[in-house]
């Protein structure tokens, strides 16, 4: 099968053309506010001593960004349209480093307001710029359902560089097509598809109109927060700030280490009784919005924080128990740049605004407005982050319409280190699953890596949309099931029993590498899951997202994601699902667990060095401590591999085409004149040990042959499902080839070579290999050091602790009473 037909030259030209006109600097000055204003800056127009206001007029339709920095305290920022009270953009981080970006039409008279919320800084520097958007070539985006008869066809589809959704199932994957070029790729590669949504912008308008009706009809929703509309980026900040302010005994703010490309802070909150203590409770991590357009994933992560806080305040026994025995970290928006671009584009369609066709509120639909709406619509379906190595410069993500295959950025959920660079990720900048220039090259994945390396996170959910899935490793079938499969599956199944989703391996959707839990599970041992929330799209009507939470969808079989998250939180608390260290040490001393190791990627010779470093402070008059930790041995080495050989591998066998086939009209049930079957017997007997058979056909790169391997029946005919398939049309220099392996081959096999689009013959070889040397399951240790409250290391020792084990530790004298 061929990869996508667009050459690199064409892509490079498209990229140059995609660079927008240069930015207009509208304002750059120091502003001051004599006193603090105790009112949100992002919920309306503000005035008075705590607010600095500046008016400006949009020189062209497009993107507008305000930035503010102050020396200290909390400042917030907003751009408002006084004529219709539209909140054009906002930024409400807990500090004084703000970035507010939105869209506005030419001639809009706007006000930027800087609000001093608290702290001693009475001045701040404020700048404002606008970038015009020429969206005259923005294509129509449509959602299609592509037939994929088997896993291999799914992976071939993955290779076409289309914008695949996470929505797939038995026999299909859904994809977003950006115009006829994308549709032609499906046709050229014999993929049948049906169109589900011909124009996603029409769908968006309908969905947002439904949201406006829902919000008008309901003062509150069944979400714990009661919200009735999708949050914008600044709403998340406002909500987290309010939770911290109103619940200092229960919630503390977290700022992740790395800012986004556009200079945004990435924030979260930690929820526990005594939230700031460094104790030994296990941690549950809730993540949302790695992918920009997946708005419900941030909503559900954020609502889990409200569920815990509200439940605790109302005296709910289950919540009180969990909040006292665990810690919960919520990072609702991992990718704030991408989310802001997507969410602000979607905002133009409504929540009742009707701005899609009338951006300046003049009551008319004119061309400029329509074009701006069409452009921002494309950004609404942005998936990736806002890395633009070829321009435009930082701050301009929203000014670059994300036009399918020419959309820039890195997929943060293909950028994690473990297995980075393998199947199900692209090395090409413009593709939707572009993995980035190197493992952990992106601030988004690096933030989560650093967070998870410094804490004992025993359970993790990374939320996405959509497909109704609870996914667990492995992301690639060849990795084999994990050493923790029984408890992993049991937890996945029990969560799926609540939300009605399908509990399955990651690769059953399609191959992926470099994902969050690829790394988090294999490096830390904490159980990580991907949720693909819902079935109705990346951000369906808000009411549906509430139903997913409550379990009132048609397919929910229990209490929805709310109930599923309780299962995850209870697993977090359950010491039999991770490990526990217990003992006595001097009160006030610090215990520290460290571990350094190399994590493999999918690229030969490339590894990333991981360093885990977590600590707790002993806080007990008698020095008793209990520390919930992940097992000391990584899952990757806890399993045995290989075996001792019982003989030698057999010599290679050759086979070759007989000629006379014609290209297959139907790939999945091919007519007999389009393929050849070749019978291969695997030698066996005394002195022979064939642990692996590798089938390979080679041909000139102008031809495209595909290969399937079947078990042979007694008559020498193919039987059952294919045991191995290769259909990628890979080339190695001037050679086309297909290659597939069978582990522990026995008996006879039929090699079926299908004529996909071939003009000349092929030659085939089967080679045999003996087993790889036996690798016993390994045990790895943490280094446990004991430090004085001032950080002086008194002693260090190795600690081995297995999953489910509660280990009583006898510490050295200088560390215990
Ligand atoms: Zn996603």
Burial class from Cβ neighbours inside 10 Å (0-12, 13-18, 19+) for residue 813 reads exposed
How far apart are the CA of 650 and the centre of ligand 1, in A?
46
Q: How confident is the model at residue 404 (pLDDT cuts 50, 70, 90)?
A: very low
How far apart are the CA of 538 and the centre of ligand 1, in A?
9
Q: What distance in Å separates the CA atoms of residue 459 and residue 482, rounded to the nearest whole number?
A: 16
Residue 789 has a CB neighbour count (10 Å cut-off) of: 12
How far apart are the CA of 183 and the centre of ligand 1, in A?
22
How far apart are the CA of 290 and the centre of ligand 1, in A?
6
Q: How confident is the model at residue 201 (pLDDT cuts 50, 70, 90)?
A: confident
Q: How confident is the model at residue 135 (pLDDT cuts 50, 70, 90)?
A: low
**Helix (H) / strand (E) containing 676:** strand 675-681
Please state the rounded mean pLDDT for residues 238-263.
97
How far apart are the CA of 738 and the centre of ligand 1, in A?
31
Q: How confident is the model at residue 377 (pLDDT cuts 50, 70, 90)?
A: low
How far apart are the CA of 424 and the centre of ligand 1, in A?
13
Distances (CA, A) of 94 to 128, 244, 423: 21, 10, 40
What percent of the chain is modeled with pLDDT above 90? 62
| Planar angle of CA 356, 357, 360, nearest 5 degrees | 90
Listed residue (713, 745, 708) closest to 724, CA to CA: 708
Structure-block tokens of residue 774 = 């036996």
Mean pLDDT is lowest, of 11-20, 200-209, 362-371, 423-432, for 11-20
80-105 pLDDT, tens digit per residue, is 999 888 899 999 999 999 999 998 88
Q: What distance in Å separates the CA atoms of residue 546 and residue 228, rounded to the nearest whole number?
A: 9
Judged against a pLDDT cut of 50, whether residue 405 lies above it is answered with no
List, in sequence order, every residue forming a beta bridge with 617; answer none if it has no partner: 590
* Per-residue confidence (pLDDT) for residue 357, from 0 to 100: 44
* Per-residue confidence (pLDDT) for residue 204, from 0 to 100: 80
How far apart are the CA of 503 and the centre of ligand 1, in A?
17
Structure-block tokens of residue 731 = 């080339």
Structure-block tokens of residue 239 = 């909500």
Judged against a pLDDT cut of 50, whether residue 47 lies above it is answered with yes
How far apart are the CA of 643 and the centre of ligand 1, in A?
39
Burial class from Cβ neighbours inside 10 Å (0-12, 13-18, 19+) for residue 367 reads exposed
How far apart are the CA of 677 and the centre of ligand 1, in A?
40
How far apart are the CA of 774 and the centre of ligand 1, in A?
38
How far apart are the CA of 598 and the centre of ligand 1, in A?
27
Report the mean per-residue pLDDT for the chain. Answer: 87
Structure-block tokens of residue 630 = 């992940």
Q: Which residues contact 397 (CB under 8 A, 6 or more apart)?
A: 101, 261, 262, 337, 338, 340, 341, 382, 386, 388, 409
Residue 263 has a CB neighbour count (10 Å cut-off) of: 16
Q: How confident is the model at residue 744 (pLDDT cuts 50, 70, 90)?
A: confident
Q: Is 562 helix (H, G, I), strand (E, B) or coil?
A: helix
Mean pLDDT is lowest, of 90-99, 190-199, 596-605, 735-744, for 735-744
Burial class from Cβ neighbours inside 10 Å (0-12, 13-18, 19+) for residue 43 reads middle
How far apart are the CA of 780 and the centre of ligand 1, in A?
33
* Per-residue confidence (pLDDT) for residue 813, from 0 to 100: 81
Judged against a pLDDT cut of 90, whether residue 406 lies above it is answered with no
Residue 213 has a CB neighbour count (10 Å cut-off) of: 13
How far apart are the CA of 642 and the centre of ligand 1, in A?
35
334-355 pLDDT, tens digit per residue, is 999 999 999 988 887 654 333 4
Q: What distance in Å separates the CA atoms of residue 603 and residue 69, rounded to the nearest whole number?
A: 41
How far apart are the CA of 291 and the centre of ligand 1, in A?
5
How far apart are the CA of 237 and the centre of ligand 1, in A?
22
Mean pLDDT is lowest, of 163-167, 382-386, 515-519, 546-550, for 163-167
How far apart are the CA of 531 and the centre of ligand 1, in A?
9
How far apart are the CA of 464 and the centre of ligand 1, in A?
4
Mutual orientation of helices 367-380 and 336-347 as an angle, nearest 10°? 140
How far apart are the CA of 345 and the centre of ligand 1, in A?
18
How far apart are the CA of 645 and the centre of ligand 1, in A?
44
Residue 347 has a CB neighbour count (10 Å cut-off) of: 24
How far apart are the CA of 432 and the centre of ligand 1, in A?
11
Distances (CA, A) of 354 to 82, 114, 360, 494: 17, 27, 10, 42
How far apart are the CA of 11 and the centre of ligand 1, in A?
25
Q: Which residues contact 121 (CB under 8 A, 6 or more apart)?
A: 70, 71, 72, 73, 75, 96
Judged against a pLDDT cut of 50, whether residue 5 lies above it is answered with no
How far apart are the CA of 289 and the centre of ligand 1, in A?
7
The answer to whether 316 and 491 are in contact (CB under 8 A) is no
How far apart are the CA of 232 and the centre of ligand 1, in A?
18
How far apart are the CA of 182 and the centre of ligand 1, in A?
21
How far apart are the CA of 28 and the centre of ligand 1, in A?
37
Alpha carbon 130 to chain centroid distance?
30
Mutual orientation of helices 200-217 and 367-380 as an angle, nearest 10°? 90
How far apart are the CA of 462 and the centre of ligand 1, in A?
9
796-808 pLDDT, tens digit per residue, is 999 999 999 999 9
Query: Helices (H) and strands (E) in the chain — how many of each?
Result: 15, 36
Please state the rounded mean pLDDT for residues 582-610.
96
Query: Residue 475: phi, psi to the nearest 5?
Result: -85, -15
Judged against a pLDDT cut of 90, whether residue 784 lies above it is answered with yes
165-180 b/e (C-beta count within 10 Å ≥ 16 → b): bbbbbeebbbbbbbbe
Judged against a pLDDT cut of 70, whether residue 284 lies above it is answered with yes
Q: What distance in Å separates the CA atoms of residue 26 and residue 126, rounded to the nearest whole number?
A: 11
How far apart are the CA of 461 and the centre of ligand 1, in A?
12
Structure-block tokens of residue 12 = 């490079």
* Per-residue confidence (pLDDT) for residue 619, from 0 to 100: 96
How far apart are the CA of 519 and the centre of ligand 1, in A?
16
How far apart are the CA of 631 and the centre of ligand 1, in A?
29
How far apart are the CA of 69 and the centre of ligand 1, in A?
32
How far apart are the CA of 286 and the centre of ligand 1, in A?
14
pTM for this structure? 0.83
List, in sequence order, every residue forming a beta bridge with 681; answer none if it has no partner: 748
The answer to whether 405 and 182 are in contact (CB under 8 A) is yes
How far apart are the CA of 166 and the centre of ligand 1, in A?
7
Judged against a pLDDT cut of 90, whether residue 433 lies above it is answered with no
Helices of type H across 228-288: 233-246
* Per-residue confidence (pLDDT) for residue 366, from 0 to 100: 44
List, in sequence order, every residue forming a beta bridge with 554; answer none if it has no partner: none
* Per-residue confidence (pLDDT) for residue 362, from 0 to 100: 56
Structure-block tokens of residue 241 = 């700030």
The answer to whether 411 and 420 are in contact (CB under 8 A) is no
Query: Residue 343: phi, psi to the nearest 5?
Result: -70, -40
Distances (CA, A) of 737 to 166, 468, 628, 809: 29, 36, 50, 57
User: Which residue in the block uniquely carries the two structure tokens 């997913």?
Assistant: 548
């Amino acid at each position: 099968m061929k990869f996508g037909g667009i050459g690199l030259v064409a892509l490079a030209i498209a990229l140059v053309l995609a660079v927008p006109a240069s930015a207009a600097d509208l304002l750059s000055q120091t502003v001051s506010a004599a006193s603090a204003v105790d009112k949100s800056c992002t919920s309306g127009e503000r005035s008075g001593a705590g607010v600095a206001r500046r008016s400006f007029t949009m020189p062209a339709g497009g993107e507008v960004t305000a930035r503010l920095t102050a020396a200290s305290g909390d400042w917030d920022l907003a751009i408002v349209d006084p004529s219709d009270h539209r909140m054009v953009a906002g930024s409400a981080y807990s500090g004084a480093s703000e970035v507010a970006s939105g869209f506005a039409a030419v001639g809009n008279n706007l006000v930027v307001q800087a609000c001093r919320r608290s702290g001693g800084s009475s001045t701040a520097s404020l700048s404002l710029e606008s970038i015009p958007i020429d969206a005259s070539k923005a294509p129509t985006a449509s959602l299609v359902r592509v037939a994929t008869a088997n896993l291999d066809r799914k992976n071939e589809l993955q290779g076409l560089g289309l914008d695949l959704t996470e929505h797939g199932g038995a026999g299909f994957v859904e994809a977003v097509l950006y115009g006829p070029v994308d549709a032609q790729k499906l046709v050229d590669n014999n993929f049948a598809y049906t169109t589900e949504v011909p124009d996603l912008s029409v769908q968006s308008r309908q969905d947002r109109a439904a949201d406006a009706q829902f919000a008008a009809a309901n003062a509150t929703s069944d979400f714990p927060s009661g919200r009735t509309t999708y949050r914008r980026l600044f709403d998340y900040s406002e909500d987290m700030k309010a939770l911290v302010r109103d619940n200092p005994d229960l919630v503390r703010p977290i700022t992740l280490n790395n800012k986004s490309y556009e200079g945004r802070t990435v924030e979260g909150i930690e929820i526990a009784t005594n939230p700031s203590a460094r104790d030994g409770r296990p941690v549950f991590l809730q993540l949302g919005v790695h992918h920009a357009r997946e708005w419900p994933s941030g909503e559900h992560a954020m609502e889990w924080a409200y569920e815990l806080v509200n439940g605790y305040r109302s005296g709910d026994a289950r919540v009180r128990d969990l909040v006292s025995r665990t810690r919960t970290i919520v990072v609702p928006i991992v990718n704030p740049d991408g989310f802001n671009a997507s969410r602000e584009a979607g905002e133009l369609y409504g929540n009742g605004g009707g701005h899609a066709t009338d951006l300046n509120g003049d009551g008319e639909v004119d061309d400029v407005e329509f074009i701006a709406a069409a452009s921002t619509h494309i950004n609404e379906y942005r998936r990736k982050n806002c890395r633009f190595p070829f321009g435009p410069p930082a701050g301009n993500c929203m000014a670059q319409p994300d036009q399918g295959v020419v959309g820039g950025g890195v997929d943060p959920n293909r950028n994690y280190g473990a297995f980075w660079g393998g199947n199900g990720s692209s090395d090409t900048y413009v593709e939707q699953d572009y993995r980035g220039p190197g493992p952990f090259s992106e601030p988004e994945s690096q933030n989560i890596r650093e967070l998870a390396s410094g804490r004992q996170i025993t359970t993790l959910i990374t939320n996405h949309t959509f497909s109704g899935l609870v996914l667990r490793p492995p992301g690639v079938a060849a990795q084999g099931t994990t050493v923790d499969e029984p408890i992993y599956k049991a937890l996945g199944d029990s969560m799926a029993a609540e939300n009605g989703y399908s509990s399955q391996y990651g690769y059953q959707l399609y191959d992926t590498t470099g994902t969050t839990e690829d790394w988090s599970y294999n490096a830390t041992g904490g159980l990580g899951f991907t949720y693909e929330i819902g079935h109705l799209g990346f951000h369906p009507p808000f009411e549906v997202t509430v139903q997913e939470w409550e379990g009132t969808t048609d397919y929910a079989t229990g209490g929805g994601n709310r109930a599923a998250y309780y299962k995850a939180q209870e697993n977090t608390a359950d010491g039999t699902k991770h490990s526990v260290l217990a003992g006595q040490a001097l009160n006030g001393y610090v215990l520290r667990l460290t571990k350094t190791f190399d994590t493999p990627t999918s690229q030969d010779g490339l590894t990333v060095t991981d360093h885990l470093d977590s600590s707790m402070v002993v806080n007990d008059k008698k020095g008793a401590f209990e520390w919930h930790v992940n097992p000391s041995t990584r899952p990757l080495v806890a399993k045995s591999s290989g075996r001792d050989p019982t003989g030698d591998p057999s010599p290679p066998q050759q086979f070759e085409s007989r000629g006379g086939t014609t290209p297959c009209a139907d790939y999945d049930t091919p007519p007999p004149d389009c393929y050849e079957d070749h019978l291969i017997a695997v030698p066996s007997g005394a002195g022979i040990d064939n642990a692996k058979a590798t089938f390979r056909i080679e041909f000139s790169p102008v031809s495209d042959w595909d290969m399937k391997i079947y078990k042979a029946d007694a008559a020498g005919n193919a039987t059952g499902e294919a045991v191995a398939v290769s259909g990628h049309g890979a080339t190695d220099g001037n050679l086309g080839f297909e290659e597939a392996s069978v582990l522990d081959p026995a008996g006879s096999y039929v090699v079926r070579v299908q004529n996909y689009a071939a003009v000349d013959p092929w030659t085939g070889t089967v080679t045999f290999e003996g087993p790889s040397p036996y690798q016993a399951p390994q045990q790895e240790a943490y280094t446990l050091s004991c430090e004085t409250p001032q950080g002086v290391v008194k002693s260090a020792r190795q600690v081995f602790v297995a999953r489910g084990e509660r280990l009583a530790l006898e510490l050295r004298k200088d560390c215990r009473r």
